[in-house]
Amino acid sequence: MYIIKRILMMLLTIWVIITLTFVIMKSIPGDPFASDANVLPDEVLANMRAKYHLDEPLPVQYVLYMKDLAQLDFGPSIKSETRSVNDIISDGIPVSSTLGIQALIIALVFGLMLGIIAALYHNRAIDFIAMMIAILGISVPSFILAPLLIKYFAVEWHMLPVASWGTWDHTILPSVALALSPLAVIARFMRSSMIDVMNQNYIKTADAKGLSTFKIVLKHGIRNAILPVITFIGPLAVTLITGTFVIEKIFAIPGLGKYFVDGIFNRDYPVIMGTTIFYSTVLVVILFLIDISYRLIDPRIKLSSGGN
Amino acid sequence: MKKWLTAIAASLVISTSLAGCGSDNADKASGTKDSAKNVKQELTLNAISEPPAIDPAMATDTTSGWVLDHIFEGLYKKDEKGNAVLGTAKDVKVSDDGKTYTFTLRDDAKWSDGTPVTAQDFEYAWKRVLNPETGSQFAFYLYYLKGAEDYNKGKGTVDNVGVTAKDDKTLVVELAAPLGYFKELLTMWTFYPVKKELVESNKSWAAEADGYVSNGPFKMAEWKHDSNVVVAKNENYYDNKKVNLTKVTWKMVPDATTYYQMYKTGELDAIQTLPTDVIDQEKNSKEYKNVPYFGTYMYMFNVKKAPFTNEKIRRAFNLALDRETLTKNVTKAGEIPAYSFVPSGVKTPDGDFRKDGGDYFKENAAEAKKLLKEGMEEEGWTTLPEVTLLYNTAENHKKIAEAVQEMYKKNLGVNIKLENQEWKTYLDTTATGNYQMARMGWIGVLLDPAVILDYYLGDSPNNRTGWVSEQYDSLMAQGKTAQDPKEHFKLMHDAEKVLMDELPFVPVYHYTNTYLTSSKFEGINYPYNRYPDVRYAKKVSE
């Protein structure tokens, strides 16, 4: 029952997003066919507008769009004449998600390790060092970090290629650049949560029982401390997997990230709609999965739709 | 949980060892290359962004054009020196009135799939551009053909369009009026043939490299969207002995610092549009080139809005700039200060169109102040109406606008306001004439002054100034039909003079493009209106 209700709510959320995006998008001034070399005769322009149903009144356009969408057809891109929005998403998403997943793994592994170590050595030198790294990670923006990585690892030391896409080597620098800031955030979350947990009575009980510190941390500490991190991971994962504008631009990565921005600049209506719907769907689904995972991690949390 | 940790540890070990492998292999590969004697004829360029349409009918941008120019060939082509010479056509006969051209195609002109290029392919390709349903933005370049404009605008029929295949090898082209630069026009990608059977049977033939057919020195080999386009030597090209490169790759690297670094590490063999902060350090390198680009950066005046309704005030705003300082200290890429509309680069019987015509004015702050005062008196203004300079949001335009603002303050005593808008909003605003002074750039696709001067024709959709001159329009019309080059260029000079007398705009500078090209390559040409032409390039060392 709970799951069905949640799914219905998800569909409603997505529908609201679609409708709002459609209305807001159409209210921005500008025209997809406008250019500084605007030499399209009015007669041809009328033809083009008709091709994309832009000559119809807005409610009709909306209905036509929803009809296509029901068949999972996002329509043709206006800017790249020959490609559909479905093509753009299906070409871009494997690339973006490869990068996103790698970055997520790096961020999680090192972020958690850093956070746990800092918490265990609370207020000692190791803690300060770990948190210095974390603050650096949060405050250095990726568009500074990425060129630095390129400068040393590619240009000076010739260890990795500068940019573009092809082999696994090409993915290393962008994954690291993408991972650093979430890594730092995860480390800080994990540290404070872990400090909190380690002061709980059940940890003291476990300690009194004679359990080794290693086992306490692993069995009781991490499991309880990780919940706030998981809440944070959901939206983070969606952002990383659907592609990021800056990193993809700097490393010339053929991902989806740039279409979120370029779509709007080009007034490429189908691209704006397609990317927004795609992003919000992934987000809503992942949030749902996270909710379910709480239950698996912490049995105290029950999946219920109301107060019962 | 323990397993979980070991798995992570293991994956870390694997990933570091993989990274090691990767770099080892790269070293080995370059080692063998060095020892090899025969040079691999491959060239990697940067297209900067995904070409929006590698289709002769649909392409409107120089990036798509760059690829098209290497995989197709029209009736005329550009030779190594940049002259228009016969390409796919081996012979042409022009009627006495200059309106009918009869082309004979080469017998050995073939598509990349080995089938012959026919006159029907040309006829089909051109009519496809003009078909209103195709929605080609460059269809107007074909309006010089008889009946073309009517057909494109839905007023005439396709049968009346002046292009007919008489037989497989004979193409008859009828013009509405003689055209001085028709040869030059025919080298443009909009006039390239497409294989009729293919395009008719597959609407999305130009979307992927697979199944793509062309007739130029190269053919499509791979197209990974947003990542790279690869073309390979076309063995079916009639002149393939002249083609040295076996493979040309265009990567799509948008970030200037990134592609500069890729050039430095050898991942790219040539780059254009260098990041401005490296120009100083690369300036004296042998690999550096600064080539004029056939276009002009300018500020349009809205002549319907005060204060630019007054010609003297428009002139004052032109004289008060210091273009030398602007290009040296602000834009810094070797741009050429503009005192005219048409840039240099057009070959004329006397040399170069720009050099023949010279500059139309000299900057002079004192004179500018005087003109401003006179203009205000003419209009009866005691204070100058407030002026806002509009530009589209971009760092470089902002820098220039701020410098211009400072120059007007200093040289003219006028405080102008700056405002910026995002590109499409900006186009909307300027098209509706809701501005006083606004930035624009114009680049000629063809090396003829008419292509530049067309911009300010009374009925041009690009002319957003509200300035209309019958004299200008009629000089332009006469100049275009003039058959004799001398007369053609004279009328173009006359037209430009009318424009420069009334000054509905401020020419700021003529564009240039900066290039770095690896010294391992020879025979790359740098046209004034296109990205480098590598059809005849050769790699001479590894």
Question: Taking the domains of chain B in order of start, what are their residue ranges?
Answer: 2-23+37-252+518-539, 292-512
pLDDT tens string A65-117: 999 999 999 998 888 777 899 999 999 999 999 999 999 999 999 999 999 99
pLDDT at B65: 94
The DSSP result for A251-297, as a single string, is TT--SSHHHHHHHHHTT-HHHHHHHHHHHHHHHHHHHHHHHHHHHHH
- The sign of the CA dihedral B432, B434, B435, B439 is negative
Place B30 in a pLDDT band, splitting at 50, 70 and 90. very low
Picking from B129, B133, B255, B423 by the largest number of A CB atoms within 10 A of its own CB, the best residue to mutate is B255
- Cα separation, B108 vs B246, in Å, equals 21
Torsion sign, CA atoms A261, A262, A264, A269 = negative
pLDDT for residue A39: 62
Average pLDDT value for residue range B172-197: 94
Which residues in chain B are closer than 8 Å to A156, comparing Cβ atoms? none
First-last CA distance in chain A: 13
**What distance in Å separates the CA atoms of residue B448 and residue B346, rounded to the nearest whole number?**
6
A43 in reach of chain B (CB within 8 A): yes
Average pLDDT over residues B524-530: 92
Nearest-Cα distance to chain A for B275, in Å, is 13
* Mean predicted confidence (pLDDT) in B21-34: 40
The pLDDT tens digits for A8-22 are 999 999 999 999 999
Q: Is B72 left (phi over 0), alpha (psi -120 to 50) or beta?
A: beta
Q: What is the C-alpha separation between A181 and B426, in angstroms, rounded?
A: 35
Beta strands in B37-191 (DSSP E): 42-46, 76-78, 84-86, 89-94, 100-105, 163-167, 170-174
The per-residue pLDDT for B494 is 97
Name the least confident of A234-238, B107-111, B262-266.
Answer: A234-238
Residue of higher predicted confidence among B325 and A234 = B325
Q: Band of the pLDDT at B26, cuts 50, 70, 90?
A: very low
Pick the closest to residue A36 from B462, B298, B435 (CA basis).
B462
What is the Cα–Cα distance from B308 to B437, expressed in whole angstroms? 8
Q: Are the Cβ atoms of A38 and B461 closer than 8 angstroms? A: yes
pLDDT above 60 (res B436): yes
**Dihedral Cα A209, A214, A215, A218, nearest 10 deg:** 130
Cα(A267)–Cα(A287) distance, rounded to whole angstroms? Answer: 30
**CA separation for the pair A38, B52 (Å, rounded):** 16
- Name residues 188-217 of chain A within 8 A of B (Cβ): none
Sign of CA dihedral B496, B500, B502, B504: positive
Q: Which pair of tokens denotes residue A32?
A: 């997809």
**B132–A34 CB contact, under 8 Å:** no
What tokens were used for B501?
């007398």
* Apex B155 CA angle, B154 and B160, nearest 5: 100
Picking from A48, A158, A250, the nearest residue to B135 by CB comes out as A48
* Rg value, chain B, Cα: 26
Answer yes or no: are the C-beta atoms of B73 and B216 closer than 8 Å. yes
Q: What is the mean pLDDT of residues B31-54?
A: 78
State pLDDT tens for residues B343-390: 999 989 889 999 999 999 999 999 999 999 999 999 999 999 999 999
* pLDDT confidence of residue A37: 65
Average pLDDT on A24-50 reads: 81
Closest by alpha carbon to B109, among B198, B192, B187? B192
What whole-number distance in Å separates Cα of residue A138 and Cα of residue A134? Answer: 6
Q: Which of B52, B261, B431 sits opposite A81 (nearest CB)?
A: B52
pLDDT at B225 over 70: yes
Place of tokens 């390709």: B125
Domain map of chain A by residue range? 2-70, 104-265
How many whole angstroms separate alpha carbon B157 and alpha carbon B490? 36
- Which residue of B8, B255, B461 is in closest CB contact with A109? B8
Q: Average pLDDT for residues A259-269, to the nearest whole number? A: 92
Looking at residue A96, the DSSP 8-state letter turns out to be H
Query: A with B: how many residue pairs have Cβ under 8 Å apart?
Result: 171
Q: Which CATH entry fits the domain spanning B292-512: 3.40.50.1970, 3.30.565.10, 3.20.20.70, 3.10.105.10?
A: 3.10.105.10
**pLDDT band (50, 70, 90) for residue B19:** very low
Q: Residue A259 has what pLDDT?
A: 93
Of B12-16, B372-376, B413-417, B423-427, where does mean pLDDT reach its minimum? B12-16
User: Which chain B residue is nearest to residue A214, measuring alpha carbons?
Assistant: B2
Residue of A nearest to B131 (CA): A44
Residue B350's H or E segment, with its range, is none
Is A160 close to B267, i.e. CB distance below 8 A? no
Find, in chain A, the residue whose alpha carbon is nearest to that of B24. A159
Residues of A in contact with B257 (CB under 8 A): 147, 250
| Residue A175 DSSP label | H
Looking at residue B32, its pLDDT comes to 41
Give the DSSP H or E segment for A229. Answer: helix A227-241
User: Any idea what the Cα angle at residue B497 is, between residues B493 and B500, rounded to 5°?
Assistant: 135
Query: Chain B residues with CB inside 8 Å of A44's CB?
Result: 132, 135-136, 139, 152-153
User: In angstroms, rounded to a whole number, what is the distance separating the alpha carbons of residues A183 and A138?
Assistant: 9
The position carrying tokens 């057009």 is: B346
Q: What secondary structure letter does DSSP report for B155?
A: S
Inter-chain residue contact B261 with A163, CB threshold 8 Å: yes
Dihedrals φ, ψ of B153, to 5°? -95, 10
Q: Do B265 and A154 touch (CB under 8 A)?
A: yes
Find all residues with CB under 8 Å of A35, minimum gap 6, and list them: B60, B137, B427
Give the Cα separation of A286 and A288 in Å (integer).
Answer: 5
Pairing of strands B270-272, B417-421: unpaired
Cα A39 from Cα B139, distance rounded (Å): 9
For A104-265, which CATH superfamily applies?
MetI-like (1.10.3720.10)
How far, in Å, are B78, B106, B168, B249, B535 from residue B237 at the CA level? 16, 11, 18, 19, 12
Average pLDDT over residues A178-189: 92
- Residue B81: its pLDDT value, please? 86
The Cα–Cα gap between B495 and B475 comes to 6
**Mean of the per-residue pLDDT values for chain B?**
90
For B515, the enclosing helix (H) or strand (E) is: strand B505-517
Token pair, residue B4, equals 């979980």
The verdict on domain B2-23+37-252+518-539 having CATH code 3.40.50.850 is no
> Which residue's entry shows tokens 């025979």?
B523
Tell me how close the Cα of A218 comes to any Cα of chain B, in angstroms. 7
pLDDT band (50, 70, 90) for residue A299: confident
Reported confidence tier of residue B37, pLDDT bands at 50, 70, 90: low
Kindly provide the ipTM of the predicted complex, given to two decimals.
0.85
Q: What are phi and psi of A291, to 5 degrees?
A: -55, -45
User: Which residue has better confidence, B275 or A227?
Assistant: B275
CB contact under 8 A, A40 and B135: yes
Return the closest-CA partner of residue B217 out of B450, B25, B41. B41
Residues of B in contact with A169 (CB under 8 A): 19, 22-23, 26
Q: Which residues of B touch A147 (CB under 8 A)?
A: 257-258
Asked whether the beta carbons of B176 and B144 are under 8 A apart, the reply is yes
What is the spatial distance between Cα A284 and Cα A289, in angstroms, rounded to a whole number?
9
Going A164 to A170 to A171 to A177, the CA torsion angle's sign is: negative
- B221 is written with which tokens? 């080999």
The alpha carbon of residue A271 is apart from the nearest alpha carbon of chain B, in Å, by 14
Residue B14 has pLDDT above 50, yes or no: no
DSSP state of B482: -
Chain B interface mutation, best of A81, A149, A296, highest count of B Cβ atoms under 10 Å: A81
- Residue in A44, A158, A160 closest to B135 by CB: A44
User: Is the pLDDT score of A301 beyond 80?
Assistant: no
Which band of pLDDT confidence, cut at 50, 70 and 90, is reported for residue A307? Answer: very low
Helix (H, G, I), strand (E, B) or coil at B1: coil
Does A1 have pLDDT greater than 80? no
pLDDT over 80 at B15, yes or no: no
**Which of A235-239, B33-37, B128-132, B285-289 is predicted least confidently?**
B33-37
Residue of chain B with shortest Cα separation from A246: B255
Nearest by CB: A164 against B53, B251, B427:
B251
What is the torsional sign of CA B441, A263, B66, B206?
A: negative
Chain CA centroid to CA A40, Å: 39
Q: For the range B350-353, what are the long-range contacts, defined as Cβ-Cβ under 8 Å and sequence gap of 24 or more?
A: B353/B449, B353/B489, B353/B492, B353/B493
A contact residues 134-173, partner B, Cβ 8 Å cutoff? 147, 150-151, 154-155, 158-169, 172
Q: A117 with A125: CB under 8 angstroms?
A: no
d(CA B465, CA B433): 7
DSSP string, A10-71: HHHHHHHHHHHHHHHHHHSS--TT--TT----HHHHHHHHHHTTTTS-HHHHHHHHHHHHHT
A interface mutation test: which of B210, B226, B393 has the most A CBs within 10 A? B226
Answer for the pair B408, B451: CB distance below 8 angstroms, yes or no. Answer: no
**Coil, helix or strand for B8?**
helix
Task: Measure the N-to-C terminal CA separation of chain B; round to a whole number of Å.
Answer: 53
Given this model, what pLDDT does residue B24 score?
A: 38
- Whole-number pLDDT of residue A303: 60
Minimum mean pLDDT range among A111-125, A227-241, B111-125, B274-288: A227-241
Distances (CA, A) of B188 to A279, B141, B153: 41, 9, 22
- Please tell me the distance from the alpha carbon of residue B383 to that of residue A15, in angstroms, as a whole number: 56
